[in-house]
Amino acid sequence: MREKILADLRAPQRLFINGARCEAVNKAFIDIINPATGTPLTQVQAAESPDVDLAVQAARHALTDPAWSDMTPQAREHLMLRIADILEARAHELGTLEALNNGKTLHEGVGDVGPSADAFRYYGGWVRKLYGQTIPVDGHDLVYTIREPVGVCGLIVPWNYPLLMAAWKVAPALACGCTVVLKPSELTPLTALRLADICKEAGVPDGVVNVIPGYGEQAGAALAKHPDVDKIAFTGSVATARSLLIASANSNLKKVSLELGGKSPLIVFPDADLDAAAKAAFWGIFANKGEVCSASSRLLVHASVKAALVERLTAMANRMKVGDPFLPDTEMGALISQVQFDKVMAYIKRGIDEGAELVAGGERYTEGQAANGWFLRPTIFTNVQPQMTIAQEEIFGPVLSVLEFENENEALQLANSTIYGLVAAVFTRDISRAHRVAKSLQSGVVWINRWNGFDSGAPFGGAKQSGWGRELGKHALDLYTQTKCVWVKL
């Protein structure tokens, strides 16, 4: 499988516009690097402003083309179920591509495909359930609402879960009858392009799904300021989110939804099941190399159990198998790029300089085949103080900051003391405390006695500077529809 994929990648990968692969107008290229080897994987054509125009034109035309706009809800549902089936049937191929392009383990890459397929299946189920309401009013009128597609959607996604982040946006957009222009990260465009091929194979009409790999400042910015794009759905950093809002304000006030970063706390009280808490805290930060928006990057632990918990975590970190993403027992692959690696190393240095205590990892992993990849040992800091940089800023890598507290109030104060509010967790056997703390956490999601609960049906998104709007669940339908209210004089 891997050899065949690598052979296919020898040819430069082209854009996907109006139902077909095509050359970029300016013939610009992006070199795609395998993070585990540091060597070129393939080249991808880079979309620039003229390509964005073509993709938006195709999406605009498709929006009112009867092939899409008159497709019955039942047919649209079946189409989405077919996409889900094809994704699942190709799980190994897509997972391999993701591992080669992102550096995550093959296991993680294949693991991303199931929830991606499930997003299409789940939102396929919504197509026939998107009804409006009849509203009693003061007068002799019949008043009803219709939920209409919001229009042409620009979808801008990051590199950490390239296929899954695309699926979380494309699936609800299609369910609502929108058309899309998807801009994957310049680092990881390969599975997004495959998703476009799969949509075509499933029977999605031309122009409904377009995929334009390209640099953020070029393709992304052109999409964000395009006057014929009705909505931007974005997952990525706070800095980029600001530029998207400015672009919207300066163009056509397109709607914007945002899934941004986090500095998420996992709080452990003294009565918690410490083994369960250690496991959750460990995988919460080290899964997918810590390149996870919902990573449990801050462990807040009661002083009385801190030593016991840190001991467990350090032992697990020292045992963790880092290296070749394709070996079956590898638990952590390579960071996405040299740039990201350097950024994470700079945070580690900052942590040491500011006085935190490094108790695991902190250095590059270079054994054997890993010598040229961007591998890092799982890293743990204790004695982290709340004002330190590594307690405040999102590192987006395998670095855990451990802070201690003495009581519930202090735990809450620490938990809520960053600009972010994406997810949080509380570990305790005290049911009242669990719900009390959940209520007071400034966070879009709270997990009690677990980490990383995700389901297509459960809303996900952030409070404070972690985002606007909620993806997944029926909440995402609000992002891709607008309500029309119709009055009939009786």
Task: Give the residues lining the site for ligand NAD (CB under 6 A).
Answer: 156-160, 165, 183, 185-186, 216-217, 220-221, 224, 235-237, 240, 243-244, 259-262, 293, 394, 396, 422, 467
Closest CA to 77 of 162, 203, 163, 185: 203
CB of 457 to ligand NAD, least distance (A): 16
In the numeric block, the tokens 């219709």 are attached to 146
In the numeric block, the tokens 């395009």 are attached to 226
CB of 178 to ligand NAD, least distance (A): 19
CB of 214 to ligand NAD, least distance (A): 7
Nearer to ligand NAD, 59 or 278 (CB): 59
Nearer to ligand NAD, 68 or 396 (CB): 396
The active-site residue, picked from 153, 178, 199, 293, is: 293
Biggest CA-to-CA distance, the chain: 80
Residue 106 has φ and ψ, to the nearest 5°, of -60, -40
In whole angstroms, give the CA distance from residue 21 to residue 11: 13
| Sign, Cα dihedral of 443, 445, 449, 450 | negative
In whole angstroms, give the CA distance from residue 146 to residue 475: 17
Residue 336 has φ and ψ, to the nearest 5°, of -65, -35
At residue 102, the 3 state secondary structure works out as helix
DSSP state of 216: I
The active-site residue, picked from 48, 93, 186, 259, is: 259
Q: Please confirm, yes or no, whether 485 is among the known catalytic residues.
A: no
Rounded to an integer, what is the distance from CA 44 to the centroid of its chain? 21
Nearer to ligand NAD, 102 or 160 (CB): 160
CB of 467 to ligand NAD, least distance (A): 6
Nearer to ligand NAD, 433 or 474 (CB): 474
CB of 262 to ligand NAD, least distance (A): 6
CB of 129 to ligand NAD, least distance (A): 25
Nearer to ligand NAD, 43 or 383 (CB): 43
Q: Please confirm, yes or no, whether 293 is among the known catalytic residues.
A: yes
Q: In b/e form, how buried is each residue of 406-433, taking b as 16+ CB within 10 angstroms?
A: eebebbbebbbbbebbbbbbbbbeeeeb
In whole angstroms, give the CA distance from residue 104 to residue 288: 6
In whole angstroms, give the CA distance from residue 307 to residue 21: 56
Nearer to ligand NAD, 160 or 382 (CB): 160
Residue by residue, DSSP assigns 46-70 as: PP-HHHHHHHHHHHHHHHH-HHHHT
- Active-site residues, by number, are 259, 293
